[in-house]
Amino acid sequence: MKKNKILEIKNLTVNVGDFLLKDINLKVNEDDYIIILGNSGAGKSILLETIAGMYKSQKGEIYLNGKDITFEKIQKRGVGIVYQDNTLFQHMSVKKNLEYGLKNRKHTKKDIDFLTKEISKKTNITKLLNRSCREGLSGGEIQRISLARSLLTNPKLLLLDEPLSALDVQAREEMQNLLKKIHENGQPIIHVTHNPEEAFALATHLVIIEKGTITQQGTIYEVLNAPETKFIANIMGIKNFFKGSLEKYSDDLFLFKAPNLTFFVSKPKELESQKKIKNLMILSKDILVFKENELEDNKKLYKNFFEATVFNIIYKRNRVEITGKLENSEAYLSSTIPIEKYESMNLKLNQKIYLGFHPESAKVF
């Protein structure tokens, strides 16, 4: 079945002060939950606010349900927005906040009462309706009310700007579940965040912005499998990512040449790819750590074998990530080993170690 396209952005360029958002192309289908990931200052919020109509574009078009809304006023777009900050109207009660959008759309009082009650149940804010917004609301409550207020206007597209960032762990989880439910009920969503965890929890589709341009988009699986930049690899939790060129070494072995560093890799499947600069990634779990006394036994087993010093040690739930700074190189390799193994190895910072991995563990794309 063909999916309905909700939003389409073509070659959008937006200039705000010194900041330039350039050549943005984006499509949102009716069942998408899009997460836009990027550092602060990458232009995520500006993109979101441009979709909402708060910034004028210098170039390009924005289509909502097939209609060109590039120059449409904010109040006529039918796009809802929820921010990280508290944007409740402080001089009104919670109920009045919810009713605000419905009153603008001239609903009858009966309708307003019914719809307000219904959304309050869904977002679990019924008990708060008569409260003042001035005091006593928790961060989670504020976000649920903002969300309910926006949903009441029945937006064609819901825009969320870091909606979970100001929340504590429990409130964040509740809000996350609520967002999931709202999406499952058919609400197309674009959600902007700097936190990859939110992408893993919610996204059907991922868009990564760096310095005002989209550097990659696709499903989480696609992005995880072939991150386009060091930054993307990093936020996706892939520590060992290099850019370099490929050279034939033997029938089934190739050399991957990164600056100051060469790896043995297996013959890539898609060698015919025209790209000159290739990406290489090695999952941390595929790299093994050895101490000096294990050197002789393992050196010959691994085609890729490096001397290093321990640069960093981080616990990651049931594994421990060991980052080693390679000898005679500015590069780092990270390995995650089971916590039991780490405890038995007794590693210290700056200690000499060896890192090894097989050519088939390296993925070139």
Partner 1 sequence: MLKNKTNANFSSLHLIFMFFGGVVFLFIVAPLFSLFLKTPFIDIKEAALDKEVVSSIYLTISVSMVGTLIFSIFAIPLAYLLSKKDFLFKKIITGIIDLPIVIPHSAAGIAILGIISRNSLLGTTAEYFGYNLIGNPLAIMLAMSFVSIPFLINSARDGFSAIPERIEKTALSLGASPLKVFFTISLPLAKRSIFSGLILMWARGLSEFGAVIIVAYHPIITPVLIYERFSSFGLKYARPVTVLFLIICFSIFILFRLLSNEKK
User: What beta strand segments (E) does the chain contain?
Assistant: 5-16, 19-29, 33-37, 59-64, 67-68, 79-82, 157-161, 189-193, 205-210, 213-218, 240-248, 253-258, 261-266, 278-282, 288-290, 304-316, 319-326, 332-338, 352-357, 362-364
* Candidate segments 25-33, 117-125, 147-155, 165-173, binder of partner 1 by CB under 8 A: 147-155
80 binds partner 1 (CB under 8 A): yes
Does position 163 bind partner 1 by CB under 8 A?
A: no
Mention every residue, 6+ apart, whose C-beta is less than 8 A from residue 78.
64, 153, 154, 155, 156, 157
Asked whether position 87 contacts partner 1 by CB under 8 A, the answer is yes
**Contact in structure between 266 and 363 (CB atoms under 8 Å):** no
The least distance separating partner 1 from the CB of residue 165, rounded to whole angstroms, comes to 14
Q: Is 90 a binder of partner 1 (CB under 8 A)?
A: yes
Q: Name the residue with tokens 């006593």.
A: 136
| Dihedral angle over CA of 242, 245, 248, 249, nearest 10 | -50
The angle that helices 139-151 and 169-184 make with each other, rounded to 10 degrees, is 20
From the list 50, 116, 150, 361, which residue makes contact with partner 1 (rule: CB under 8 A)?
150
Closest to partner 1 by CB, 154 vs 245, is 154
Cβ nearer to partner 1, comparing 74 with 314? 74
Binding region for partner 1 (CB under 8 A) out of 31-39, 87-95, 301-309, 324-332: 87-95
Binding mask 115-144 for partner 1 (x = CB under 8 A): ------------------------------
Enumerate residues 41-70 that contact partner 1 by CB under 8 A: 49, 52-54
Contact residues for 41 (Cβ-Cβ < 8 A; gap 6+): 19
Q: Which stretch binds partner 1 (CB under 8 A): 36-44, 80-88, 173-181, 247-255?
A: 80-88
Q: Which stretch binds partner 1 (CB under 8 A): 81-89, 122-130, 194-202, 250-258?
A: 81-89
308, 354 Cβ separation under 8 angstroms:
yes
Interface with partner 1 by CB under 8 A: which residues?
A: 49, 52-54, 74-75, 77, 79-81, 83, 85, 87, 89-91, 100-101, 104-105, 146, 149-150, 153
